[in-house]
Amino acid sequence: MTWYSETGPLTRLAGQLAGATEDVLRVRRAWHWDGPRPHTWPEQGAVVPAPASDLGWARQEPVRTIRLLIQRGLLLPFTEVMAHPKVEGREWVRELERPVIFAANHSSHADTSLILHALTDRARERTVVAAAADYWFKRPLLGNLVSLFLNTFPFSRTGGAQAQLHSSSQLLKSGWNLVLFPEGSRSVDGRIGEFKPGVGHLANETGAPVVPLHIRGAYQIMPRGQKLPLPGPARVRIGKPMNPGPKEGSRDFTARVEQAVRTLAAEPRQPEVQGTWIERWQAGKPRDLRYGG
Per residue in 234-277, pLDDT tens?
A: 999 999 999 999 989 999 999 999 999 999 998 777 666 666 65
Average pLDDT, the chain: 83
Task: Give the pLDDT confidence of 177-203 residue by residue, as tens digits.
Answer: 999 999 988 999 999 999 999 999 999
> Band of the pLDDT at 8, cuts 50, 70, 90?
low
Would you state the pLDDT for residue 48?
47
Answer with the residue of higher pLDDT: 213 or 184. Answer: 213
Average pLDDT over residues 281-287: 63
Helix (H, G, I), strand (E, B) or coil at 51: coil
Lowest mean pLDDT among 109-123, 163-177, 212-226: 163-177
CB-CB contact of 104 with 115 (8 Å): yes
Contacts of 270 (CB under 8 A, 6+ apart): 88, 89, 237
207, 132 Cβ separation under 8 angstroms: no
Contacts of 80 (CB under 8 A, 6+ apart): 117
262 vs 16, 78, 165, 225, 237, CA distance in Å? 69, 28, 25, 24, 11
Whether cis (ω within 30° of 0) applies to the bond prior to 244 is: no
Tell me which residue of 111, 261, 118 sits closest to 193, measured CA to CA.
261
